[in-house]
Structure formats: structure tokens, C-alpha cells
A and B are shown apart, each in its own frame.
Chain A
């Protein structure tokens, strides 16, 4: 009974927060609406008994939205929402597409013959996850690790101000780079 009530509260908050993300004029408010929605997603995951993943989602989304708010202020022309502003295109077409996608998904969800439950959750699902990631799903874990490492490298390369052509000029075989401050021991 309590679980049902918690589910509905979180579900309604998640959907309402998601809708408000694209209705607020203030980018800061939109970020907080998205944070509310994603925190409710974490709450739903906790409700399903996945304590570790639920807490990870809550922590990660809180930090992620804090970073996103900073980028909003940096790049958006109206971060405080002091004047009405819409930056959208083809709103009606997108609304029709999204309603159709939801209708198809809902029809599939309600009409599909879902298999019955096999087994029961173990006393410690987190240990199951850890054993799975270190055992049969090791390849998944290694791929995720490589993807995260590639992300770190790619983000640094993309965000850096001076690329190798700025440092070396057109001739990349130059012995020394044109850096404002020389590196190494000899400076």
C-alpha cells in the first residue's frame, strides 16, 4: 500500500518535472525541474529494491545537474528567465511524433504477453551485480571502462584552447612548440 502511494507520487513528480523542463523560461528552473525528474527516477529504482543503483543515480544526477546549471549560465542567453523566450522549432510536428511514440509504446506495453516472474531477488542484489560485472559481464565492464577513458581523452581534446596546429604551426614536425610558457626542466 505504501509502495503504491510512493510509486504514484514519484511517477507524477517525474513526469511533471520532465514536462516543466521544456516549459520554464528560466534555464536554472529547467535544470532543477530535470533534477526533480531524475531524482524521482532514482527513487523508483530504490523502490524496486536496487539500493546501490538508486543511490548512485541520486548522487550522480545531483552533481550532474549542478554542472549543467553552470553550463546553462555560461552558454544560455537568458539563464535567469527574466524575459519570455522560446528557442524551439517544429513544436507541433514534434508533439505529434512524441504522442505517436508514446501511443505505440503504451500499446506494446499493455498488449504484450509479458513472461511471468522467474526466481526471486536475492537478499543482496548489489553483490549479484558486482559478481556479474566481475564474472559473466566482465566484457561489458571492460567496454564501459574503455568508453569512459576515451570520454576523458576526447573531452580534454575538444575543450582545450590550443590544439597541436596552434602549438606547432602547419609543420607538425617542429622540434619545439610555440607555447606561452615552456615546459620541461629547462625553462
Chain B
């Protein structure tokens, strides 16, 4: 185990999540991509805490922040999907694009 290995895992998870966020048309699947990206950030923050500054708790605070962002992203995402579906029966990003007009 080393810092580089943990960070490579974090980069892999982030990239896979980015692929999902860029390609998926379904808003729920897009949110799954965002969750994976945040998972990568959690691994990276925890590894930086352990391998660089384990005496300070700042890295742990970053993990708490990322976990909170995950919860907020999911709650707001599902609420937006519900509102979109209720008003226009839309659950795809491409169809939601007309909202900007």
C-alpha cells in the first residue's frame, strides 16, 4: 500500500464516474456517476490524511465534507427529478434541455 496506489484508485473511480456523468441520459444514472466521482474524492482525501498529515484532522474533515455533499446531491437530485417528472413527465437530460428556453 502506498499513497500513489490509493490516489490511482481514486483517479480511476473519478474517471469512471465522469464517464457516467457525461454519457448517461437518465438523470438518476447521471447521479450515480456523480456518486462514483465523490467516492473517488473520499478515497483520495483519506489517503492524503493517512500518508501526509495524520496528526491533523483536516483530511478527515474533507472526508466528512465529501460524504455530506453525497447526501445533499442525492436528496436534491431526487427532488429535482420528482419536480421535473411531475410537471413534464421528463426523466431524461436531453428532454429536460428545453427548460432553458
> Which residues of A approach B to under 8 Å, CB–CB?
3-4, 7, 11, 14-15, 18-19, 21-22, 27, 30-31, 34, 37-38, 41, 44-45, 47-50, 53, 56-57, 60, 64, 67-68, 71-72, 75-76, 87-91, 93-95, 97-99, 101-102, 105-106, 109-110, 114-115, 117-122, 125, 128-129, 131-133, 137, 140, 144, 147-148, 151-152, 154-156, 158-159, 161
Q: Is the CB of B60 within 8 A of A159?
A: no
Q: Indicate which residue in A34, A41, A50, A132 contacts B32 across the interface (CB closer than 8 Å).
A: A34
Q: Is the CB of A44 within 8 A of B11?
A: no
Interface size on B, residues (CB 8 A): 71
Q: Is the CB of B91 within 8 A of A44?
A: no
Q: Is the CB of B61 within 8 A of A133?
A: yes
Residues of B within 8 A of A34 (CB): 32, 35-36
**What's the Cα separation between A41 and B40 when bound, in Å?**
8
**What's the Cα separation between A95 and B39 when bound, in Å?**
19
Q: Is the CB of A68 within 8 A of B28?
A: yes
**What's the Cα separation between A67 and B68 when bound, in Å?**
16
From residue A123, how far is it (CB to closest CB) to chain B in Å? 12
Q: Is the CB of B4 within 8 A of A3?
A: no
Q: Is the CB of B19 within 8 A of A44?
A: no
Q: Is the CB of B53 within 8 A of A119?
A: yes
Q: Indicate which residue in A57, A95, A106, A159 contacts B11 across the interface (CB closer than 8 Å).
A: A106
Q: Indicate which residue in A97, A121, A147, A161 contacts B54 across the interface (CB closer than 8 Å).
A: A121
Contact with A along B6-38 (1 / 0, CB 8 A): 111101111111111011111111011101100
Residues of B within 8 A of A148 (CB): 68, 71-72
> Which residues of B approach A to under 8 Å, CB–CB?
1, 3-9, 11-20, 22-29, 31-33, 35-36, 39-40, 42-43, 46-47, 49-58, 60-61, 63-65, 67-68, 70-72, 74-76, 78-83, 85-86, 91-92, 94
Selected A-B contacts with CB under 8 Å, 10 pairs: A14-B13, A15-B9, A18-B12, A22-B19, A71-B28, A88-B25, A117-B52, A119-B54, A121-B50, A140-B64
**What's the Cα separation between A106 and B4 when bound, in Å?**
9
Knowing A44-B9, A48-B46, A88-B23 are in contact, say whether A159-B61 is a contact too (CB < 8 A).
Answer: no
Complex: chain B residue closest to A70, CB-CB: B78
The 6 A-B residue pairs whose C-beta atoms are closest, nearest first, are A119-B55, A132-B57, A105-B11, A158-B79, A94-B22, A102-B15
